[in-house]
Amino acid sequence: MAKIEVILTHNIVGLGGESDNVRVAAGYARNYLFPQRLAVPVTSANKRQLESLKQKRAEREAHEFNTMSELAKGISKLICVVKVKAGDDGKLFGSVTAGMIADELKHQFDIALDKKKIHLEHAFRALGEYEVELHLHAEVKSTLKVRVESLTPIAAPVETAADAKAEKPHTEKRGKRHEPESAQPAEDKPKAAKDGKPAKAAKPEKKPKAE
């Protein structure tokens, strides 16, 4: 397929920026780039536009840098919630992708971010909170907190009889309660033995003789 040289007048992702001289398929240039005014043929007259195109490119890149720098500051304070199907053990039925995070950023915070700027070191396969690296610009990086939650509440573990018994507080056993002996009159109690000998019983009082 024949190729021709063109001068880009706009930034085209994957191809180049303003003022770049690139080779593309002739049909692609004729049918798309030229009609959309995204490029012009390489001619002496068009080469005179290079300085103005370079200035336009510098202004665009400066604006993008400032915009992404501000976004990096704000997005690092956000928590993006992604809800997925998960089992009772907290494991996901599938995994969280960069596209899902980009969709939730748009839905929750109205932030349009290309999923290619979201870099996942590994797939998220369990519920929890993660930090995701964002490559917002060639010179700007940031992190985003992502909380993965279940679409349905996780069932609480059922408490068994053994668990309930184990959790029951141990109460201290009390000693037997002794009932106090009934008080006896002091005179009815036998006198204590003296020197280990049993005490003698008290003699009954003699009755006075009748006159």
Q: Tell me, what CATH number does 57's domain have?
A: 3.40.5.10
Which of 123, 150, 177 lies at the terminal end of a domain, its last residue? Answer: 150
Q: Confidence class of residue 39 from pLDDT cuts 50, 70 and 90?
A: very high
Q: What is the radius of gyration, based on Cα positions, of the chain? A: 47
Establish if 189 belongs to a structural domain: no
Mapping DSSP to helix (H, G, I), strand (E, B) and coil, where does residue 156 land?
coil
Which of 69, 101, 125 lies at the terminal end of a domain, its last residue? Answer: 69
Establish if 107 belongs to a structural domain: yes
Establish if 174 belongs to a structural domain: no
Establish if 76 belongs to a structural domain: yes
Distance CA 98, CA 122 (A): 11
CATH number at residue 93: 3.10.430.100
**Residues 87 and 127 placed together within one structural domain of the fold:** yes
Tell me if the pTM is above 0.75.
no
Please give the pLDDT value at position 142. 95
Region of residue 158 (phi > 0: left; psi between -120 and 50: alpha; otherwise: beta):
beta
Give the N- to C-terminal CA distance of the chain in Å, as an integer: 167
Q: Mean pLDDT throughout 189-199?
A: 50
Sheet of strand 140-150: strand arrangement: 79-84, 140-150, 128-137, 118-119
Domain count within the chain: 2
Establish if 121 belongs to a structural domain: yes
Q: Confidence class of residue 49 from pLDDT cuts 50, 70 and 90?
A: confident
Range of the domain at 55: 3-69
**Residues 85 and 49 placed together within one structural domain of the fold:** no
Q: Tell me 29's DSSP state.
A: I
